[in-house]
Amino acid sequence: MWFDRHIEKSILSATQSRPVVLLTGARQTGKSSLFQRMFRDVQYITLDSIQYAEQAKENPDYFLSNFKKPVILDEIQYAPEIFRHIKLLVDQNRKQYGQWLLTGNQKFELMQSVGDSLAGRIRIIHLETLSALEIRRKRTDNKLADFIWKGGYPELWSNPALDIHSFFEDYIQTYLERDLRQIINISNLVDFQRFLRICAARIGQLINYRNMAKDVGVSDVTIKSWLGALEQSGIIYRLPPFYANMGKRFVKSPKLYFADQGLASYLLNIHNYEQWQNHIYKGNLWENVVFCELIKTGLYKPGKNLFF
């Protein structure tokens, strides 16, 4: 089952005005599937393949010369070295738009490489999980009310046989192994999983690094590092307060939200609509749902045009 995405118009517009389009977002938001569906006749290469990743790192010029453009390069974060070589190819004809269609996780190193190499040549678009509007348009047999606790990861809605508990359990384990360990050094996975649950219990609240550190049993510095890693990977958002004095926005405490309420509900042991309705954090979770919908359908950006 396929769900049309709200952001497709932005992607098509970008391919008509920029040589390079980068689609970022957390794992399992549907980046690869969306590009492959929108550009069916375009060659698809994934750097998740060790063979391709090694070729891209060892001989970028030869690797890129093998493809007839336009081309989709998936999981580009595994070979950020090729951005400089893509720049050289783009500069040969800056008006050949939509030639390089890239996907990747929004890691600091990836975004830094993009900024250094492809400034002025690339459009970066962030893909979130499904919104309530995208699910409602499909008119599925699923209860839309389940969206409140189930969240919007596309596979949960396209595959009714998928066990939701197993999905999130696997998601967290894979996420820890493949993404976070490349960003930060996590020596104790038990502490980190406790930290994730504590984050879920603080949805919609001001972030107090010292209190979180005390509850997890780690230092304030570690908490800040872990929150930064979650934010880089598209798992959480930190929403700053609004002040006319811009400097105060950066020094005052932000609020914490999850990019998908389904993951937060799982971390709080919510597995159905009734449990959500009776949960002590129901109000906080509902606030998180509204926050996510503003980003997904209104395309608001925390810290730019969205504050509390």
In a domain, 157, yes or no: yes
Give residues with Cβ within 8 angstroms of 169, minimum separation 6. none
Q: In the structure, what pLDDT confidence band is assigned to residue 37 with cuts at 50, 70 and 90?
A: very high
Same domain, 164 and 280: yes
200 in Cβ contact with 192 (< 8 Å): no
In a domain, 72, yes or no: yes
Burial of 244 (0-12, 13-18, 19+ CB in 10 A): exposed
Same domain, 112 and 256: no
Q: In the structure, what pLDDT confidence band is assigned to residue 250 with cuts at 50, 70 and 90?
A: low
Same domain, 210 and 293: yes
Q: What is the pLDDT of residue 205?
A: 97
CATH code (residue 291): 1.10.10.10
Q: Above 80 in pLDDT, residue 84?
A: yes
Q: In the structure, what pLDDT confidence band is assigned to residue 106 with cuts at 50, 70 and 90?
A: low
199 in Cβ contact with 189 (< 8 Å): no
In a domain, 212, yes or no: yes
Same domain, 107 and 159: no
SS3 210: helix
In a domain, 244, yes or no: yes
Alpha helix (H) residue ranges in the chain:
8-15, 31-38, 50-58, 60-65, 83-90, 108-118, 132-138, 147-150, 154-158, 164-175, 181-183, 189-200, 209-216, 220-232, 246-251, 261-267, 273-277, 282-298
Mean pLDDT over 54-59 rounds to 91
Q: In the structure, what pLDDT confidence band is assigned to residue 142 with cuts at 50, 70 and 90?
A: low
Q: What is the pLDDT of residue 73?
A: 96
Handedness of CA 33, 193, 203, 142 (dihedral sign): positive
**Treating both helix axes as pointing N-terminal to C-terminal, what angle do 8-15 and 31-38 enclose, rounded to 10 degrees?**
60
Mean pLDDT over 175-188 rounds to 74
Pairing of strands 236-239, 255-258: antiparallel
Q: Using one digit for the tens of pLDDT, what is the confidence trace for 4-23?
A: 999 999 999 999 999 999 99
Last residue of a domain, one of 65, 93, 126: 126
Same domain, 73 and 202: no
SS3 24: strand
In a domain, 135, yes or no: no
Q: What is the pLDDT of residue 15?
A: 97
Q: What is the pLDDT of residue 197?
A: 96
Same domain, 85 and 201: no
In a domain, 132, yes or no: no
Q: In the structure, what pLDDT confidence band is assigned to residue 119 with cuts at 50, 70 and 90?
A: confident
In a domain, 1, yes or no: no
Q: Using one digit for the tens of pLDDT, what is the confidence trace for 218-245?
A: 999 999 999 998 998 899 999 999 887 7
Q: What is the pLDDT of residue 298?
A: 85
CATH code (residue 88): 3.40.50.300
Same domain, 95 and 24: yes
Domain span at residue 87 reads: 8-126
Measured CA distances, 85 to 134, 183, 236 (Å): 37, 24, 32
Closest CA to 235 of 305, 185, 174, 166: 174
Q: In the structure, what pLDDT confidence band is assigned to residue 252 with cuts at 50, 70 and 90?
A: confident
Mean pLDDT over 181-193 rounds to 79
In a domain, 153, yes or no: yes
Same domain, 146 and 272: yes
Q: Above 80 in pLDDT, residue 179?
A: no
The amino acid that residue 266 corresponds to is Y
Last residue of a domain, one of 126, 155, 173: 126
Give the chain's mean pLDDT. Answer: 90
Last residue of a domain, one of 96, 126, 156: 126
The amino acid that residue 227 corresponds to is L
The proportion of the chain whose per-residue pLDDT surpasses 70, expressed as a percent, equals 93
Same domain, 157 and 279: yes
Q: Which carries the bigger pLDDT value, residue 248 or residue 296? A: 296
Measured CA distances, 235 to 107, 228, 291, 305 (Å): 12, 10, 14, 20
Handedness of CA 123, 28, 45, 177 (dihedral sign): positive
What's the structural domain count of the chain? Answer: 2
Mean pLDDT over 171-185 rounds to 77
284 in Cβ contact with 204 (< 8 Å): yes
Q: Which carries the bigger pLDDT value, residue 166 or residue 299? A: 166
